[in-house]
Structure 1
Amino acid sequence: MAEIIQHKDSVPESCLGKRLDQTLAQMFPDYSRSRLKDWILAGSVTVNGEVQTRAREKMYGGEIIAINAEVEAEVRFEPQDIPLNIVYEDDDILVINKPADLVVHPGAGNPDGTVLNALLNHCPELEVVPRAGIVHRLDKDTTGLMVVAKTIAAQTNLVDALQRREITREYEAVANGIMTAGGVVDEPIGRHATKRTHMAVTFSGRPSVTHYRVMEKYRLHTRLRLRLETGRTHQIRVHMAHISHPLVGDPVYGGRPRPPKNATPELLAMLRSFKRQALHAAMLSLYHPITGELMTWHADLPEDFVELVQLLQEDNKLNAQQEY
């Protein structure tokens, strides 16, 4: 079965002087360079509305690049009976609350057992929708809300809305360190120079903006509410690590646990055993892709996140009593 791949974005200034194929590789890192080059040669790439078949064409920054390619699915994904926590569903969309330890889309190391396989089981008609209707992803161990399109029309509209930044996604997180006020991290994100599975703040990356505000301060940690303006891979995790406040438990960007002095044994154990990033997609708001109705959903914090927050709050109280 053929899948339609559609992307549209402006060339960042950091691509000044780069070839078209190099620019595409930077802008769309989810696809291999060979596949991107094949799309160029096949006439599936336009620059400022005109088909461009020369991979060596130089870019200047600011051009509008669009990909509209049809590819045969390399793998036929199988439906699997994996439970889904469905928050909302109608004829066009469904919203799920994803648990930790569940990959969204099959890939290297995770050929099945994913959200995609579960969606195909729950809704077999998603077989004809690219990526089984998945519009955006959450990392394997990030919990919370995701919207899925049940039709191609709904998916097209939602992808366009996401690119226009008309879908609001808010997260809760616990970060290491004491943060005194909210702010904005406006730093480009791209592939790490040497660790290809990692992302990093890099001059050649794509524009990335994360807004955050302080919800609660603990002795050596801060509970945050964050809003994505863009949606890059690992964006919140990379941005918070970049400003020296990595998320608690982050196995890639977080470093070792950082307990406060004289922490209770329970808090010490929790910080040492929290092996995933303390990050939860708590709110999702969008205009329904077919009816145009504004819809908003909220997802309660998962149990491990709740327990972490409670222990940090208790640590605050115990410390305040001792000081008194």
Structure 2
Amino acid sequence: MTESDNTIQLDETTGPEHFGLRLDQVLADLFPEYSRSKLKTWIQDGKVAVNGEVITVPRHKMQMEERVTVNAEIEIQVTSQPQNIDLDIVYEDEHILVINKPADLVVHPGAGNPNGTVLNALLNHVPNIDKVPRAGIVHRLDKDTTGLMVVAKTLPAQTHLVDQLQHRVMSREYEAIALGTMVAGGVVEAPIGRHATKRTHMAVREGGKPATTHYRVMEKFRAYTHLRLKLETGRTHQIRVHMAYVKHPLLGDPVYGGRPRLPKGASEDFISTLRGFQRQALHAAQLSLYHPETEEWMTWQAPLPEDMQNLLEAVRLDTKENPEDII
């Protein structure tokens, strides 16, 4: 197998186990580093040959010991413009990139954010990543959620990482500050779908996609709880929606947090700190996955950003000043 900046050349011989199978099935077995949809497209586009003969029918039945070759061009997948935006890079090699995303940085361009995004920064930082779907972004964080994201730098790496996400192999853990005092951890299993009337919001609703969030208490205060959460699925706004569903929305969440509530007897300094925290208190603290090339299990951690550290200190002080309210 060879892969240059613009071309992919693959060459393998089928075995007895491939007899009678369809060409697209055989390609998926021989070249698992590429997605089934991509391999099927290459067949239909005349990029695949069997014993030197171009085959354009994915259902073509295979014999034994046939030579299968693929000669494909890597087409541009992303048309956004590169921009010189600093990235906090936690890890990088020729296959993947792990970044620690700050608050107020959007992952993908969209309405209201045509540029200045993580994607624009990746196009500038990684040559040819425009040939990987979504510039290698396989999962996203909300604009004001901080923490770790992995990016695929090649098509095979992207296929591998997407497969880990789909099969719930990749591990993602978060830290959050929730409203109210929670005395124990638990699991939220509730389907999430688009809100019935607010189309930019998500909600727990019948007919939504299955969603599971595990959480445990790291530290409890008189009016808030510091949580560690682990995603089993990756639905849009999942943690924010699930915690609001169990009546413990995230502190500062402008969408799902409801009407701001100030603890009884809070000091002016504490009230000022709460009002000054203008985002959901959520941070992607740990990311673990199998490296797409070496298969090594790798784990990265990102400490809480300064604004959340300061918020926690303020919450601790508020609890210390009001010990009679501790549950």
Shorter-chain-normalised TM-score: which range? 0.7 to 0.9
The match for 2:82 among 73, 79, 98 is 79
**Does the CA-based 8 Å contact 2:105-2:118 persist in structure 1?**
yes
Partner of 1:124: helix, strand, or coil?
Answer: coil
1:187 paired to 2:190? yes
Look up the equivalent residue of 1:147 and give its one-letter code.
Answer: V
1:142 paired to 2:148? no
**Does the CA-based 8 Å contact 2:285-2:301 persist in structure 1?**
yes
**Does the CA-based 8 Å contact 1:220-1:258 persist in structure 2?**
no
Note the alpha carbon deviations across 1:203-253, whole angstroms, 9 max, x for none: 110000000001111111111000000000000000000011000010100
- Alpha-carbon separation, structure 1, partners of 2:323 and 2:236: 39
- Alpha-carbon separation, structure 2, partners of 1:309 and 1:209: 26
Q: Which residue in 1 is equivalent to 2:19?
A: none
The match for 2:124 among 114, 121, 126 is 121
What TM-score does the superposition give when structure 1 sets the normalisation length? 0.76
List runs of 5+ in structure 1 lacking aligned partners: 1-41, 43-49, 52-71
Q: CA deviation at 1:258?
A: 2.1
Look up the equivalent residue of 2:256 and give its one-letter code.
Answer: Y
Larger deviation: 255-264 or 100-109? 255-264
Q: Which residue in 1 is equivalent to 2:205?
A: 202
Listed as ranges, the matches of 1:107-118 within 5 Å are 107-118=110-121
Aligned pair count reads: 257
Look up the equivalent residue of 2:155 and give its one-letter code.
Answer: I
Q: CA deviation at 1:75?
A: 6.7
What TM-score does the superposition give when structure 2 sets the normalisation length? 0.75
Q: CA deviation at 1:315?
A: 1.3
Partner of 2:322: helix, strand, or coil?
Answer: helix
Q: Which residue in 1 is equivalent to 2:178?
A: 175
Q: Which residue in 1 is equivalent to 2:136?
A: 133
**Does the CA-based 8 Å contact 2:195-2:202 persist in structure 1?**
yes
- Alpha-carbon separation, structure 2, partners of 1:74 and 1:135: 14
1:90 paired to 2:89? no
- Alpha-carbon separation, structure 1, partners of 2:276 and 2:131: 41
**Does the CA-based 8 Å contact 1:102-1:114 persist in structure 2?**
yes
1:275 paired to 2:273? no
Partner of 1:240: helix, strand, or coil?
Answer: helix
Partner of 2:315: helix, strand, or coil?
Answer: helix
The match for 1:310 among 300, 309, 313 is 313
1:230 paired to 2:233? yes
Partner of 1:83: helix, strand, or coil?
Answer: coil
Q: CA deviation at 1:255?
A: 1.7
- Alpha-carbon separation, structure 2, partners of 1:132 and 1:191: 26
**Does the CA-based 8 Å contact 2:148-2:284 persist in structure 1?**
yes
- Alpha-carbon separation, structure 2, partners of 1:303 and 1:316: 20
Percent identity between the aligned chains?
69
**Does the CA-based 8 Å contact 1:176-1:245 persist in structure 2?**
yes
1:214 paired to 2:220? no
**Does the CA-based 8 Å contact 1:257-1:271 persist in structure 2?**
no
Note the alpha carbon deviations across 1:142-174, whole angstroms, 9 max, x for none: 000000000000000000010000000000000
**Does the CA-based 8 Å contact 2:76-2:130 persist in structure 1?**
no
Partner of 1:260: helix, strand, or coil?
Answer: coil
- Alpha-carbon separation, structure 1, partners of 2:78 and 2:162: 23
The match for 2:242 among 232, 239, 244 is 239
1:175–1:321 Cα change, 3 Å: closer
1:163 paired to 2:189? no
User: Over aligned residue pairs, what C-alpha RMSD do you find?
Assistant: 2.2
- Alpha-carbon separation, structure 1, partners of 2:222 and 2:164: 40
Look up the equivalent residue of 1:85 and give its one-letter code.
Answer: D
Listed as ranges, the matches of 1:3-152 within 5 Å are 76-152=79-155
The match for 2:255 among 252, 255, 260 is 252
Q: CA deviation at 1:257?
A: 2.4
Look up the equivalent residue of 1:111 and give its one-letter code.
Answer: P
List runs of 5+ in structure 2 lacking aligned partners: 1-43, 45-57, 60-74
Q: For the pair shown, which has the larger CA radius of gyration, 1 or 2?
A: 2
Partner of 1:117: helix, strand, or coil?
Answer: helix
- Alpha-carbon separation, structure 2, partners of 1:299 and 1:293: 20
